[in-house]
Structure 1
Amino acid sequence: MGSDARRMGECRDPGNGFSMQSLQRDWLHRPTHRQVWRLAGPMIASNLTVPLVSLVDSIVAGHLPHAEQLGAVAVGSAVYSLPVLICGFLRMGTIGFAAQAAGRTDGDTLRRVLLQALLLAGALASVILLLALPLLPSVLELMKPSAGLDGFTVTYLHVRLAGLPAALLGYALVGWYLGMQNAGMALRVTVITNAVNIAFNLILVLGLHRGVGGIALASVIGEWTGALVGLLGVSGQLRRYPGRLHASVMGRWKSWQPLLAVNRDILIRSLVLQGVFFAVTVLGARLGDGMVAANALLLNGLLVASFALDGLANAIEALTGHALGRGDPVALRRALVVAGGWSLLGGVLFAMFFALFGKVFIDLQTDIAKVRSLAYPYLPYLAALPLVAVGSYLLDGLFVGASRAREMRDSMLIAGIAFALLAAGLRPWGNHGLWLAFLGFMLVRAAAMGWTAKRIARRGEWVTAADHQAGEPAS
C-alpha cells in the first residue's frame, strides 16, 4: 500500500523529486535517451526540411532580376502562412488525444480522433478559401507595399492558395502519426512534401523561368503529394491497434467537445503567435521593401533553429501523452529532463552558429547587396533568439501532450500583450526596436509557461487533466 500511495502521489505531481540528485539520475537513464531520439531524430530531420523550403524559395527569388520579387515571396509567404500556421492546432490538438489513446491501446478512439481531425481540416480549408480572395486586397493594404511588390505578391498568392486544403490535411495526419509515436511516417510525409516542393522550384523557376508564380506552384504540388502519402499510410498504422469506428459516437456532440475545446484554445494561442510574426513583417514592410526582405532572411534563421528544436518538443508531446495515458509519472519526468538537456545544448549551438557564421547565412540567401547590408546589423538578435526561445518550445511539448491547451492560450496572451507594448514603446528605434520587442515576446512567453507548469505540478493536476480531456469512450 505504501508503494502504491507513493506512486499515486508522483502520478498526481510529475514535478515531485526535481532535486539535483534526481535530475542527474534521470539524465543518465539511457533508455529515455533512446526513446527521445527515436522520436526526435526523425522529427528534427523532418522539421529542418520546412525552413529549407523557405531558404530555397528565398535563394531562387533572391537570384531573380528584381528585389521586389524576393520581397513578394517574403510577403506572400507571410500572408499565406498566417491562416495555415494558425491552423497548426490541427496537429497540436490531435497529437495529445492520439498519444493518450495509444498509451491506453484504445483503437476505437484512435480512429475517431483521426476522422474528426480530417473532417475539421476540410471544413476549415473551405472557410478560409471562401474568405481569402475577398480579403486579400485589404490585407496587402496593411503592408502598404510598392506597386511592383503588390503585383508580384498577388500573383504568388493566387496560385499558392490552391495548396491550402492539402496543408491542413497534412497537419492533422502528422499530429496523429506523432501521437502514435510513428515519427518515421510523419517524417515521410513532411520530407516528401518538401522534397517535391524543392524539385519543382528548381524545375519551374530556374528551368522554365516561371518566376514568382512558379515558386508558388511548386509549393502547391508538394503539399498535395505529401497529403496523399499520409492518407495512404493510415490503414497500415491502424492494424497495430485493433478497433472500429462507431458511427453513433461520431454523431454525438459530446464526442466532439474535448477535441474542439482544445483546438479552440490552441487556435487562440496560434492567432496571437502568428499575429506577432505577421506584425514583424507588416512593421518591417513599412520601413521599406529592402528592410522587409532583410527581416525575412533573418527570420529564416529562426525558422531553422525552431524547427530543429521543435523535434525535441515533438518527442515530449508523444512521450507525455503516452506517459499520462499509462499513468506513469516517472517516464514523464525522465522525458522532460532528457529532452530539456538536449534542447538547451541545441539552443547554445545555434546561437554560436549565427554569431560566427551569420553573414555567410545571409549571403547564401541573396546576392542583392542592399538586402545584405540591411540584414547584417541585426544578426546579434538572431544569435540571441535560440537561447531565449528554447524554454517555450520544450514546454509547448509538455502542454500539447497533456492536452493543456487553456494554459498555453493564457501564457501566449500574456506574451502577445507584452510584444504590443514593447513594439509601441520602442517604435522610435526603428527595426532595432522591432527586434527587441520580438526578443521580449519570446522571453515573456517562456517565463509565463514555466510559471504555469510549476503551478499545475504543485496542485497535482497533470494526470487529472489528461484523464478529464480524454474524451468519451468509443463504445
Structure 2
Amino acid sequence: MHRKILRLAIPNIISNITVPLLGMVDLAIVGHLGGGELLAGIAIGTAIFNLLYWNFGFLRMGTSGFTSQAYGRRDFAEAFRTLFRALSLSTGIALLLIALQRPLQVGILALMNGSDSAEELASQYFYIRIWAAPATLGLYALKGWFIGMQNARTPMWIAIIINGINIVASLAFALWLGMGIGGVALGTAIAQWSGLAIAILFLIRYYGKLFKKEFLRNTFIITALRRFFNVNGDIFIRTICLVIVFTFFTSASSKMGDSILSANTLMLQLFTLFSYIMDGFAYSGEALAGRYYGAGNRSMLRRTIGGIFLWGAAVTVLFTAAYALFGEAILAIFTDDAAVIAVTRQYVWWAVAVPLSSFAAFLLDGILIGISRAAVMRNVMIVSSIIFFAVYYLLVGTLGNNALWLAFIIYLSGRGVGQLLVIRRL
C-alpha cells in the first residue's frame, strides 16, 4: 500500500511544484523588460487568471473521482464517458469565458485596484491569454482523468513540458521579438495549447487500444449527467467559499497596513509550500480511494485511508519542526527588508501552526473526492467559512492581526475535524 501511495504522490508533488512556475517565469521575463509598471501589470494579469481558473478546479477533482471508481470496477466504458463529459463541460465553460472576456476583464480589474498604467498592461496580457482558456480547462479535465486511471506520471511530464515550452516561447516573443508583455501572454497561451496537444497524444498512445466508439453512446443520459453535475456543483460551491476566505484574508491584511500585508503574504508562502506537498498525497488518496470504493473493496479502502494519514502525519511533523526551527530563515529568502522581517517575527509562530491545523483537511478532501462525496466537502466548507468570519469579527477589535490568523487556523482545523466526523460514519 505504501508503495502505491508514493507511486502516485511523488509525481503529483512534482506536478504541483511546477504550477507556480508559469507565473514565476512570466514575472522573471517581464522583470528584465522594464520598470515597476510592467511588473505590476504582469502581477495583476497572472492574478486575474489564478482567480478565474481556481473556481473551475472541479473539472479536475470531479473527473478524478468518477474515473477512479470506474477504474476500480474495470468499467473502461464509463471511464471514457467521464472524460468526454468533462471535456465537453470544460469546452463550454471556456467558450463562455471567451465570449464574456470584456465584462470579466472590467469586473476583475475593478477588484484589483491597480494604477491606470498597470491595469492597461494587465489588459494586454488578459486579452491574449484568455484565448488559451479551452486548453487550460481541458488540461484540468485530462489531469483528473489520468490521476483517476492511477497514472500520475503522465500529468507530471505534461506539466514539465508545458513549463519548458513556456520559457522558450515567452522569451522568444517578449524579448527576442520585442513584443513585451503581450509576448509573455502569447508564449503562455502557446504553452497551454501545446500541453493540451501533448496530453491528447499521451491519451491516444496509452489508452487508445481501450477505447471503443460505442463507449460514448450513453455519455449524455440524464441520470449520469445529473450525478456528474451534482458532484461538480458541490465542488464548485466549496471552491467559491475557499476563494472568498483567501481573498478576504488578503483584503483584511491590507486594511491593517502595508507592513502587516507584507508579513501575512510572506507567511502564506509557508502555507502554500506545505499545500503543494500535501496535495500530492491528497491526489493519491483520490485515485486509490476511488479505485477501491468503485471495486467495493472496503478493506483496501480502509488501508488506503490509514496509509494516506500515516504519510500525511509524518510530513506534517517534518514541516512543523522545520517551520519552528527555521521559519524566520525561510521567510528571509523572500525579502531582505528589515522592517518587514521585524513585523513577520511577531506573527511567525502562527505559520508554525499551519501544518498541524490543515493536513487533515487536505487529505480528507482527496478521499471524499475519490468516493464522490463532494456534498460533505461543501457543507463542512460552508460551516467552517462562517466560523472564520465570526471569529475574525468578534476578536479583531482586541487582537488585530492575531485575530485574523486565529480565525484562519480555526477554519483549517474545522474543515479537517468536520470531515473526519462525517467520514467515520461513511
Do both proteins adopt the same fold according to a TM-score greater than 0.5, normalized to the shorter chain? yes
- Equivalence for 1:105: 74
Closer, same or farther in 2 for the Cα pair 1:303/1:38, shift >3 Å? same
Q: Give the alignment of 1:27-66 within 5 angstroms.
A: 32-56=1-25
Q: Give the alignment of 1:121-140 within 5 angstroms.
A: 121-140=90-109
- Residues of 1 paired with 2:387 and 2:40: CA distance? 28
- Equivalence for 1:308: 277
- Equivalence for 1:348: 317
- Residues of 1 paired with 2:351 and 2:333: CA distance? 16
- Residues of 1 paired with 2:133 and 2:339: CA distance? 33
Match status 1:437 vs 2:407 = yes
Closer, same or farther in 2 for the Cα pair 1:272/1:309, shift >3 Å? same
Residue pair 1:74, 1:296 contacting (<8 A) in 2 also: no
- The match for 2:287 among 297, 318, 322 is 318
Closer, same or farther in 2 for the Cα pair 1:220/1:269, shift >3 Å? same
- Residues of 1 paired with 2:178 and 2:326: CA distance? 32
- The match for 1:390 among 343, 352, 359 is 359
Residue pair 2:81, 2:216 contacting (<8 A) in 1 also: no
Closer, same or farther in 2 for the Cα pair 1:240/1:162, shift >3 Å? same
- Equivalence for 2:416: 446
Closer, same or farther in 2 for the Cα pair 1:345/1:219, shift >3 Å? farther
Structure 1 letter corresponding to 2:87: L
Closer, same or farther in 2 for the Cα pair 1:442/1:195, shift >3 Å? farther
* Corresponding residue SS for 2:372: coil
Q: Give the alignment of 1:372-411 within 5 angstroms.
A: 377-411=346-380
- Residues of 1 paired with 2:263 and 2:189: CA distance? 25
Post-superposition shift, 1:286?
4.5
Structure 2 letter corresponding to 1:186: P
Post-superposition shift, 1:400?
0.6
Structure 2 letter corresponding to 1:453: I
- Equivalence for 1:171: 140
Post-superposition shift, 1:146?
4.4
Give CA-to-partner distance per residue, 1:344-397, whole Å, 9 cap, x none: 121222233334444454454456777666655543333322221110111011
- The match for 2:166 among 191, 197, 201 is 197
Q: Give the alignment of 1:230-241 within 5 angstroms.
A: 230-239=199-208, 241=210
Residue pair 1:46, 1:187 contacting (<8 A) in 2 also: yes
Post-superposition shift, 1:133?
2.5
- Residues of 2 paired with 1:452 and 1:414: CA distance? 14
- Residues of 2 paired with 1:81 and 1:340: CA distance? 29
Structure 1 letter corresponding to 2:134: P
Pick which of 383-392 and 344-353 moved more.
344-353
- The match for 2:308 among 306, 330, 339 is 339
- Residues of 2 paired with 1:127 and 1:45: CA distance? 31
Post-superposition shift, 1:104?
1.5
Structure 2 letter corresponding to 1:235: I
- Equivalence for 1:250: 219
Post-superposition shift, 1:121?
0.4
- Equivalence for 1:268: 237
Greater relative contact order (CA < 8 Å, ≥ 6 in sequence): 1
Structure 2 letter corresponding to 1:109: E
* Corresponding residue SS for 1:105: coil
- Residues of 1 paired with 2:260 and 2:191: CA distance? 29
Residue pair 2:101, 2:127 contacting (<8 A) in 1 also: no
Match status 1:87 vs 2:87 = no
- The match for 1:187 among 156, 172, 181 is 156
Match status 1:119 vs 2:88 = yes
* Corresponding residue SS for 2:19: helix
Pick which of 176-185 and 243-252 moved more.
243-252
Give CA-to-partner distance per residue, 1:3-22, whole Å, 9 cap, x none: xxxxxxxxxxxxxxxxxxxx
Post-superposition shift, 1:264?
0.9
- Equivalence for 1:4: none
The TM-score, its normalising length taken from structure 1, stands at 0.79
- Residues of 2 paired with 1:61 and 1:360: CA distance? 28
Give CA-to-partner distance per residue, 1:448-470, whole Å, 9 cap, x none: 111111232xxxxxxxxxxxxxx
Give CA-to-partner distance per residue, 1:270-321, whole Å, 9 cap, x none: 1111222222233344456676565444433322211211111111111111
Residue pair 2:56, 2:236 contacting (<8 A) in 1 also: yes
* Corresponding residue SS for 2:4: helix
Residue pair 1:62, 1:367 contacting (<8 A) in 2 also: no
Closer, same or farther in 2 for the Cα pair 1:55/1:305, shift >3 Å? farther
Post-superposition shift, 1:39?
1.0
* Corresponding residue SS for 1:312: helix
Structure 1 letter corresponding to 2:414: V
Structure 2 letter corresponding to 1:447: V
Give CA-to-partner distance per residue, 1:231-264, whole Å, 9 cap, x none: 1111223246454444542343233122111111
Post-superposition shift, 1:90?
0.6
Give the root-mean-square deviation of aligned CA atoms.
3.1
Q: How many residues align?
A: 425
Identical-pair percentage: 35
Post-superposition shift, 1:91?
0.8
- Residues of 2 paired with 1:332 and 1:182: CA distance? 18
Give CA-to-partner distance per residue, 1:135-161, whole Å, 9 cap, x none: 333333334444455445444433443
Post-superposition shift, 1:87?
0.6
- Residues of 1 paired with 2:262 and 2:243: CA distance? 18
